[in-house]
Structure 1
Amino acid sequence: MLSQPTFGDRSLNESLYRALLTRLFDSVSVSTRRLLDECCFGIAPSQQGVKTFFIIAPYLQIAEGLIEDIDSLQEWVMALMPGIGLIGICVNPPKGNGDDGREKGEGNLSLYMSCKLFELFVEE
């Protein structure tokens, strides 16, 4: 019989991920840290079963800034999160007040979440 997750397991996982994210924030540049401050994070398997670390930004500009610094993010994930095979930098536009950002000249702002995946290559 499989054990059922308990509150303690969840609490332990949250503590672990909080510590990892703290290490991430300490190891990246100040400009990347500011971008990450706006984001949410998660880990989930891809359709192929590859563990993926998701960074979910509220705006395209933030996601593009993170993509510019993908090399340091990949290095960090490979060093501290063994078993993760992909990084997903996603944009999940905020919902609310019927304002989809198009009036502000933000161009092709999507109403739906989109994501760009980056593979992690481990040197052998």
Structure 2
Amino acid sequence: MDTLPPPAFDLTPPDISGWRRGDDSSNLPGPGHVTPDYVHSFDFGVAGHGIDCTPAPQRVIEVTDRVTAASNDFTFVRPFRGMDVLAQAGTVIALDRGAPVVTPYDNCILVMPVAHPQAGATAVRLGREVG
């Protein structure tokens, strides 16, 4: 019988029995006092395991268009995760009843693509970075 190796890091939940919330002696912040520095003070068990926990820089995306599936035959030409940046205008992103669906401008960002959209539903939103 094969056995699984032990995990790379401790999966034991922390003992929180002595923690209290909301008073000055608490080691947890009260409501409304959670700051990014507080959140980033935790390593969530991944520090030292080659995982970069540094947050990505924020980006502002202006949604300019939405693509609505005209039929149930709408299919993307490849899997998109969202926030994909397509460098050239006219890049085919999907086929709908065999007709190509293309990006309208350079550096088009696909926002919230739906894996299997129904006819009449939004399949993906198109956006561009602001600033």
TM-score class, shorter-chain normalisation, is: under 0.3
* TM superposition score normalised by structure 2: 0.22
TM-score (normalised: structure 1): 0.23
Name the larger-Rg structure: 2
Q: Which has the higher helix share?
A: 1
Higher strand fraction: Structure 1 or Structure 2? 2
